Amino acid sequence: MPLKSRKANFNDAGVALRRETTNLSDAEITLKNKKADSGDTGVALSREKAESKPKSIFMLKRLRAAACFLTFLSALFGAFFVGGGAFYPPRCGGVRASGGSAYIAIERDSARVLYGSNIDARLPMASTTKIMTALVAIEKNDIKKRVKIPKAAVGIEGSSIYLRENEEMTVEDLLYGLMLTSGNDSAAALAIVTAGSVEDFAAMMNKRAKEIGAKNTNFTNPHGLHDARHYTSAYDLALITAHALKNPVFQTIVSAEKYTISDAGGGAGARYLSNKNKMLKMYCGADGVKTGFTKNSGRCLVASAKRGDMRVITVVLNHADMWNDSMSLLDRSFDNYKIVKIAGAEQTVDAPVAGGARGFAAAAPEDKYYPVKADERLSYEILPEKLKAPVKKGAVAGKIKISIDNHLIFEEKLYTIDSVKEKSALDRLKDLFD
């Protein structure tokens, strides 16, 4: 689903206005169009020897006006189609930071890496930071609680929902302002009402990141404005997002296309929010999650989509064509992987019990699914425990290991699904004659 560039760049087109002769009594005014990069032949319009001084002055004014108008159009279209939040043009030299880039696609529940490059590199992540901000705020607050906006959250630079000091709204309202329109003031407000300060909230974010397993991540703020000590990796950010998407409140918020914050008083009026994440409309099955951009981070996007029983999360950091790159990753993932049930309660393993009236049957405690390619082979290894009767139901009976092409993907304990009684004297006697 390629996007079309409508960016107008008159400098790149090679248009130049030149006035060759300034002698008003014998004016020669030439408008020259230099050859464009595509090889078009320049067009020269010339008018030689103006008949009168007043007419020459008039023509000069018209040329200057034309030059100003072209400059205005260049700035207007450049701002609207590149910096103004409209469709970002694919593959046409978009904004890209000078640092490294990375991408990854994972399946949410297994966290299996489906595709990736540079996945552990520490990079700035701009407003995709707010995924962790939202997760911590949801876990630490009653989202229906009404809070007063602190002064320190007003006037934060960058994207904003224009909060006013002491106006009241719910934590839920702030979460929608955070994730739909990427309000940096919403991020600061959530941090302060949750932890008392931005610094203490950042400590909460870092603690939660470590619990999730993010090893190449450090947060210094809740909004993602640049700080050299504020970074993550594509893998860590995908892992954080996978955990966040298991929270139903978070999932509802990031999948919403619009939200209205009712009039909170103080003259602000109602706020009508629209989700900046165009993936919700551009890609079938998309349901989140967050965009990001600073000059240091470049274009960043975390996306999520679900088809059937499979949910894929993609992260692109410093990708100028972030929309198409994300859609391509999602397509490849859904085309080449399928969810397969690799273990479950109905898949039992039988083994003997020393001194038992019978053997035992064991199974994994819950169903386990995993994304598998068509040409990948699953192999199973059962390691039973040497049990001695009597055995209670639910006792650890061994271990199952599952591999794909000799690479271990899953390991789980097996548990007995029934109790096993000790053999009776009669059973032992029968054994002597068998």
pLDDT in tens, the chain (434 residues): 444 333 333 333 333 333 333 333 333 333 333 333 333 333 333 334 334 444 444 555 555 555 545 444 443 443 333 223 323 333 333 455 667 999 999 999 999 999 999 999 999 999 999 999 999 999 999 999 999 999 999 999 999 999 999 999 999 999 999 999 999 999 999 999 999 999 999 999 999 999 999 999 999 999 999 999 999 999 999 999 999 999 999 999 999 999 999 986 666 689 999 999 999 999 999 999 999 999 999 999 999 999 999 999 999 999 999 999 999 999 999 999 999 999 887 777 776 666 544 555 667 788 899 999 999 999 999 887 777 667 678 788 788 899 999 899 999 888 877 666 665 555 555 555 56
Does the 102-338 domain belong in CATH 3.40.710.10?
yes
- The answer, yes or no, to whether the previous bond of 124 is cis (omega within 30 of 0) is no
Is 182 assigned a catalytic role? yes
For position 267, what pLDDT does the model report?
A: 67
Q: Name the catalytic one among 130, 290, 368, 423.
A: 130
For position 97, what pLDDT does the model report?
A: 61
Q: Name the catalytic one among 74, 110, 127, 297.
A: 127
Asked if domains 102-338 and 344-433 share a fold, the reply is no
For position 399, what pLDDT does the model report?
A: 87
Q: Name the catalytic one among 182, 186, 297, 333.
A: 182
Does the 344-433 domain belong in CATH 2.60.410.10?
yes
For position 9, what pLDDT does the model report?
A: 36
Domain ranges (residues) in the chain: 1-94, 102-338, 344-433
Contacts of 274 (CB under 8 A, 6+ apart): 180, 181, 257, 258
Is 419 assigned a catalytic role? no
Closest listed residue to residue 140, CA positions, set 65, 294, 8, 250: 250
For position 398, what pLDDT does the model report?
A: 80
Is 110 assigned a catalytic role? no
